[in-house]
Amino acid sequence: MSVVYLHIGLPKTGTTHLQDRLWRNRDLALDSSGLLYPGNEIADHFHAAAHLQPERYLDWVDPEFASAWPTMVAQMKAWPERSLVSHELLATATEPQIGKLMSDLGFADDVHVVVTVRDLGRQLPSVWQENVKNQRTATFAEFVDSVRAHAGGPHTPAAGGDGPSRQARVGEEPFWEFQDYVRILRTWAPFVGPDRVHVITVPQTRGGDELWNRFLSVIGVDPAALTIAVPDLNSSLSAVQTEFVRRLNTRLQPDAIEWRRYERVMKGQIIGEILFAERGGTPRRISGEQLAWAAEQSRAMIAEIAAAGYRIAGDLDDLALARPDDAVPEPTDADVLEVALDTVAALVVSAPLPRVRPRWQTRAANVVRRGRRRVLGMRRHLR
């Protein structure tokens, strides 16, 4: 029986770790459990999701990779058992785009939709930090205010009048388009039926293999056979580090720096090599009135998921908000300055040495300079 599982996100719910681990163990999964993780490269899943939505992801739709999805479809079509497609960009697909994808999968006897979901208490700081790491300048308070303003009220999570294809409005901080799991699943469910929609909750406790085991249980894979481990890379910044990057972004907007340079220097070197190397520091947390609102919003969203008839892997209580032990103080100017100085020092230590003129060039220049002085001296003497 041919079955296809579509893992559609959400972003910042451990998707990268799951995808990396699945890719490295794809041969073991095929041999032990009959699961095909298609594609010739792991990036094929990204290209497939981007090409499905060319207007939404115009900058990423590269004609060179247009064959990624047809190749994956051919591989799945030739495989008589289970297959898995996984990328979080699928979360933003519209109804016509989902219809096209389902048509491409018409060969399958069954299609299931899988979504990994994490509580708002962790998602709000995590998504805000990701936005900051991509040139955004809003403070955390401004970000949460924007999220609240566009949530549509505690009992109507961002379904809004714009429908499932809603793009972020001008001035709206990016969040709900990828994180409104109520609306996203409401868009996808009619194509497969609610009994073929699987909601996997991200455990409250970080670390361990619980999320991995929950995911594999949904797609029917024995975790014991997948023995290739992957590093659990924690790519999070502390609250002070994030504030430093946010302030630096105010001087590094698109009119001041091209994206390629920002991506390589800011994201690749400053964040990826310098700041990530400095472990420690308290991460940003939601608290106070923000926490109270997020808890109410979460209760409404959890209730809608519970009533929808989806299959739940894990516990819906994982999506409820836990009150933190104590409030996290705002980063001070002195804190941010310390991070800035450490960062500049690291850049100086690692920067390539400036070019030094070879000695022979210096000597030659000095010979020319002496000759010029003699000529000028003779001219002045003859006047």
Region 153-166 average pLDDT = 41
The predicted structure's pLDDT at residue 359: 67
Query: Does 169 share its domain with 307?
Result: yes
Residue 167 binned pLDDT confidence (cut-offs 50, 70, 90): very low
Query: Does 145 share its domain with 274?
Result: no
The predicted structure's pLDDT at residue 155: 40
Residue 169 has pLDDT above 60, yes or no: no
What is the number of domains present in the chain?
A: 3
Residue 161 binned pLDDT confidence (cut-offs 50, 70, 90): very low
The predicted structure's pLDDT at residue 162: 38
Query: Does 278 share its domain with 364?
Result: no
The predicted structure's pLDDT at residue 278: 85
The predicted structure's pLDDT at residue 154: 41
Q: 149: domain CATH number?
A: 3.40.50.300
Query: Does 375 share its domain with 251?
Result: no
Residue 264 has pLDDT above 90, yes or no: yes
Residue 178 binned pLDDT confidence (cut-offs 50, 70, 90): very high
The predicted structure's pLDDT at residue 260: 93
Query: Does 245 share its domain with 120?
Result: no
Query: Does 183 share its domain with 123?
Result: yes
* Digit-coded pLDDT (tens) for 309-366: 999 999 999 999 876 656 678 899 999 999 999 999 999 998 888 877 676 666 777 7
Query: Does 315 share its domain with 260?
Result: no
Stated pTM of the model: 0.86
Which domain does 104 fall in, by range? 3-233+285-321
Region 60-87 average pLDDT = 96
The predicted structure's pLDDT at residue 357: 66
The predicted structure's pLDDT at residue 153: 47
Query: Does 146 share its domain with 249?
Result: no
The full 3-state SS of the chain, as one line of letters, equals CCEEEEECCCCCCCHHHHHHHHHHCHHHHHHHHCEECCCCCCCHHHHHHHHHCCCCCHHHCCHHHCCHHHHHHHHHHCCCCEEEEECHHHHHCCHHHHHHHHHHCCCCCEEEEEEEECCHHHHHHHHHHHHHCCCCCCCHHHHHHHHHHCCCCCCCCCCCCCCCCCCCCCCCCCCHHHHCHHHHHHHHHHHHCHHHEEEEECCCCCCCCHHHHHHHHHHCCCHHHCCCCCCCCCCCCCHHHHHHHHHHHCCCCCCCCCHHHHHHHHHHHHHHHHHCCCCCCCCCCCCHHHHHHHHHHHHHHHHHHHHCCCEEECCHHHHCCCCCCCCCCCCCHHHHHHHHHHHHHHHHHHCCCCCCCCHHHHHHHHHHHHHHHHHHHHHHHHC
Query: Does 312 share its domain with 333?
Result: no
Query: Does 51 share its domain with 121?
Result: yes
The predicted structure's pLDDT at residue 322: 72
Residue 381 has pLDDT above 70, yes or no: no
The predicted structure's pLDDT at residue 362: 67
Higher-confidence residue of 356 and 247: namely 247
Q: How far apart are CA 101 and CA 382, in angstroms?
A: 90
Query: Does 181 share its domain with 314?
Result: yes
The predicted structure's pLDDT at residue 7: 98
* Digit-coded pLDDT (tens) for 1-51: 999 999 999 999 999 999 999 999 999 999 999 999 999 999 999 999 999
Tell me what the pLDDT averaged over the chain comes to. 90
Query: Does 289 share its domain with 347?
Result: no
The predicted structure's pLDDT at residue 382: 67
